[in-house]
Amino acid sequence: MSQSTAPLAGLLESDSPIHRLAERFVAAGHELYLVGGWVRDGLLGRTSERDVDLATSAAPEVTREIVAPVADSVWLQGIKFGTVGAQIEGLSFEITTFRTERYQPGSRHPDVTFASDIEADLSRRDFTINAMAVRLPQVQAIDPFGGLADLSKRRLRTPIEPHASFTDDPLRMLRAFRFASQLDFKIDPEALEAIADLRDLLTTVSAERIRDELTKVVVGRAPKRALELADKTGLTELFLPELSALKLEQDPVHRHKDVFAHTLAVLERTDAEPRLRLAALLHDIGKPKTRAIGPDGVTFHHHEVVGADMAARRLRELRYPNDMVHPVRELIRLHHRFHTYRLGWTDSAVRRYVRDAGPLLEDLNRLVRADCTTRNQAKARRLGARMDELEARIKSLALEEEIKSIRPELDGTQVMAYLGVEPGPVIGQAQSWLLDVRLDEGVIGEDEIYKRLDDWARARGIEPARERVPPKPKKKNGA
């Protein structure tokens, strides 16, 4: 084993499933190489979470014949692109015939041409650090484009001339920033120049492919620097123009930091979870539309409401699913509410905060804490202390009542019986009003709540029947 492949030793021992599979290919007269993320991550001392990527000289049908006898399962969804999938001894493999590829505008699938050797196959890879291979079972390093040197220099460089590489697949431009974020690598200046020249080609890439790369950018180790570079090339304006629009001074009088720099700082202060990071990235995009300058400086009234709607539209355009769009929208809509706490929160305000946040409460509090990027240490301490106090209040109230599942003191059946009306809008209005009473005052007791309902009904011209019925049994852990 060569020194350059030493970090991969454990994966390629003679008793490993990869080694035994390689012996089958060689016995059938074909070459087999370990390629892709397993090589890169192995050399970096990281565990790859990807399927094991292998490249072979065997045609897809031949690959299936070699693999099938030893596989637990085989899948052929990618066979027309040269890929055979297999599960062998607990590992998932994707075995692809040597090929070159080019993406047509708007397509998620490449036009594939099978190649004759491993070097031609590696030349189609996006960056040199992904264009290395290990020949099996000999464990011989193949590095025709200097990927190992780029790995040691923490540099992203294309294996062929960057204009040609990005033209073959324009998504590679965004992938450059994805790997810069994930690995905290710098991007080669020639590649950055080519991205700036060819950025308009990104408009030919499907929204789904852009979405997947953007998610990987934001949850990476260094998203701030990656997005700063992407913005400088003009690429972000094509898929996230709201981000570039944040480069405005918050206060032209006092010259506070711009919203763009603040946003990227908040992004890196949050935990690397997709919905939290996306909320951080988009939390202030409503500020340019709500910016107003008065005698006391700049204001952004209701930027969180405007920004929440803007974020939802952008995420839908990028084909994010509803189970991502909705929570991100709600986190943005609610993220500024905490700042009214400096005026003093009543118990009812705390209840509303918790109820409105619902299952997003923990993420909301983490976003609020990350949103404090001031260099003024005294101010930062005050903000932290207020959040500590709010969380203590929430915990205290939660001991008194199941605050996250608060319900009106009377259920729908009780309201219908007391008012003597059938199901309809009036019952919904009454329930909403009763919930407000519960949130504002807590539990006030049966006699008092029926008296309040009596007054509410009469104010609307409803003469209550005044029939009281027992409440329905509460669900377990209900409030």
d(CA 187, CA 81): 30
CB 311 within 8 A of CB 282: yes
The percent helix, strand, coil of the chain (3-state, each to 5) is 55, 10, 30
Evaluate if residue 478 carries a pLDDT over 90. Answer: no
**pLDDT tens column, 193-213:** 999 999 999 999 999 999 999
d(CA 14, CA 324): 44
Residues 6+ apart with CB under 8 A from 30: 56, 57, 58, 62, 66
Strands 99-103 and 110-114: antiparallel
The alpha carbon dihedral of 92, 96, 100, 106 has a sign of negative
**pLDDT tens column, 222-276:** 999 999 999 999 999 999 999 989 987 554 544 446 889 999 999 999 999 999 9
CB 77 within 8 A of CB 166: no
pLDDT band for position 293 (50/70/90)? confident
pLDDT band for position 106 (50/70/90)? low
pLDDT value for 107: 61
Top-confidence residue, 220 or 292: 220
Alpha-carbon dihedral 234, 278, 371, 303, rounded to 10 degrees: 80
51 class by beta-carbon count within 10 Å (0-12 exposed, 13-18 middle, 19+ buried): middle
pLDDT value for 407: 84
CB 410 within 8 A of CB 445: no
Q: Mean of the pLDDT values across residues 180-193?
A: 97
pLDDT value for 340: 73
Top-confidence residue, 391 or 227: 227
pLDDT value for 373: 77
CB under 8 A, 24+ apart: contacts of 338-344: 338/368, 338/386, 338/387, 338/390, 341/386, 341/389, 341/390, 342/386
Percentage of residues of the chain with pLDDT beyond 90: 61
CB 74 within 8 A of CB 84: yes
**pLDDT tens column, 424-451:** 999 999 999 998 888 888 889 999 999 9
**Sequential DSSP letters for 396-409:** HHHHHS-GGG---S
Neighbours of 145 (CB within 10 A): 22
Tokens representing residue 29 in the block: 């007269």
DSSP SS3 for 53: strand
Q: Mean of the pLDDT values across residues 113-140?
A: 92
pLDDT value for 100: 75
**Sequential DSSP letters for 282-333:** HTTTTHHHH-EEETTEEE-TTHHHHHHHHHHHHHHHTT--HHHHHHHHHHHH
Tokens representing residue 148 in the block: 């190992």
Q: Mean of the pLDDT values across residues 20-41?
A: 94
CB 442 within 8 A of CB 401: yes
pLDDT value for 350: 86
d(CA 37, CA 49): 9
Helices and strands: H and E segment counts in the chain: 23, 13
**pLDDT tens column, 342-384:** 666 788 888 888 888 989 999 999 999 998 877 677 777 877 7
Q: Which of 125, 63, 59, 46 is nearest to 133 (CA)?
A: 125
Strand partners, 100: 113
Evaluate if residue 110 carries a pLDDT over 70. Answer: no
Element spanning 368, H or E: helix 361-370
pLDDT band for position 20 (50/70/90)? very high
Evaluate if residue 1 carries a pLDDT over 50. Answer: no
Evaluate if residue 294 carries a pLDDT over 50. Answer: yes
Nearest 5°: the CA angle 452, 457, 458 is: 100
**pLDDT tens column, 53-97:** 999 999 999 999 999 999 999 999 889 889 999 999 888 999 999
pLDDT value for 476: 52
Q: Could you tell me the pTM of the whole model?
A: 0.79
Element spanning 415, H or E: helix 412-419
